[in-house]
Chains A and B, each alone.
Chain A
């Protein structure tokens, strides 16, 4: 993707290796359609310059050929970017920018494996662009929260109830507004998800 970092050195810069205190590695998906602000949000929270992997849309069959340096010319690749932030208490949180198109389904399942949940970014100027990703999240059973990324020319006339109806959200699904360029705002959006996960966990174990 054009917005992904274009060069990462194979000899890592200082700070790329995990801190010795790293114990629990957890991940959250930052999901949404093209250009919604996934990379921007990851960048504003990450302690490392976001990295990316090149993924084949049919990964399983591609691995052996890649090792031999031979590529099937018709294979489509997509860049998946991710960031990392070390938290107190030995937790290292990874954020994976995950495109929501239906054709990314197999890749989606692999990235979603073991994730705590997903933060689904929505651009209120084009709500329907997020329908695919919401479908994928719901099918995968991942708990999620919705964050409206506030672009300056976004329509302000929608009420919360209207937006919820347009996205067909369950009453319990958190919905917040965020500015992906702002660290505090991005952290708040992630917290809306994690607090929701905690509440769900408590409800289940009660």
Chain B
């Protein structure tokens, strides 16, 4: 458990079995899916937070898409989205739902989907 250099943990947070300090939510990735949550917008949110909520009004976006549209660094949107998710203003889910993870057919669906693009 020691000696791993700085960087990503070997096991993504959502696969770890939990322990002393389970994070409130999985680590957000570039492809985490963000949607607008149900909570009403409180007064006094910073402009960047309001802009993120605004861009999610029209539907779901991958985190990296929100960053591109808002012209903010991915790292900044990670922080913003995690904070808003803690307040139920944003819902964040993993890029691949747990039920589909390690599903052997996923790659075949990618291949079939790509073949269908050809004309």
Query: Chain A interface (Cβ within 8 Å of chain B)?
Result: 8-12, 16-18, 20, 22-27, 45, 51-56, 59-60, 62-64, 66-67, 82, 84-85, 87-91, 93-94, 96, 109-111, 113-114, 116, 183-184, 187-188, 190-191, 194-195, 197-198, 201, 205
The answer to whether A26 and B112 touch (CB under 8 A), given A18-B60, A113-B29, A184-B118, is: no
Interface of A is mostly: mixed
Query: Chain B interface (Cβ within 8 Å of chain A)?
Result: 7-8, 12, 29-31, 33, 46, 48, 51, 55, 58-62, 64-65, 67-76, 78-80, 95-97, 100, 104, 106-119
B39–chain A nearest beta-carbon distance, Å = 20
Q: Which residues of B contact A183 (CB under 8 A)?
A: 117-119
Contact assessment for B61 and A114 in the assembled complex, using a CB-CB cutoff below 8 Å: no
Contact assessment for B76 and A113 in the assembled complex, using a CB-CB cutoff below 8 Å: no
Which chain A residue shows the least CB distance to B95? Answer: A25
Query: Number of residue pairs across A and B with beta carbons under 8 Å?
Result: 159
Q: Which residues of B contact A84 (CB under 8 A)?
A: 62, 65
The answer to whether A12 and B55 touch (CB under 8 A), given A88-B113, A205-B104, is: yes
Contact assessment for B97 and A24 in the assembled complex, using a CB-CB cutoff below 8 Å: yes
**A-B residue pairs in contact (CB < 8 Å), sample of 26:** A10-B70, A16-B65, A16-B69, A24-B95, A26-B31, A52-B68, A59-B75, A62-B73, A67-B79, A82-B68, A84-B62, A87-B112, A87-B114, A87-B116, A88-B113, A89-B109, A93-B110, A113-B8, A113-B30, A184-B119, A187-B114, A190-B114, A191-B114, A194-B110, A194-B114, A205-B104
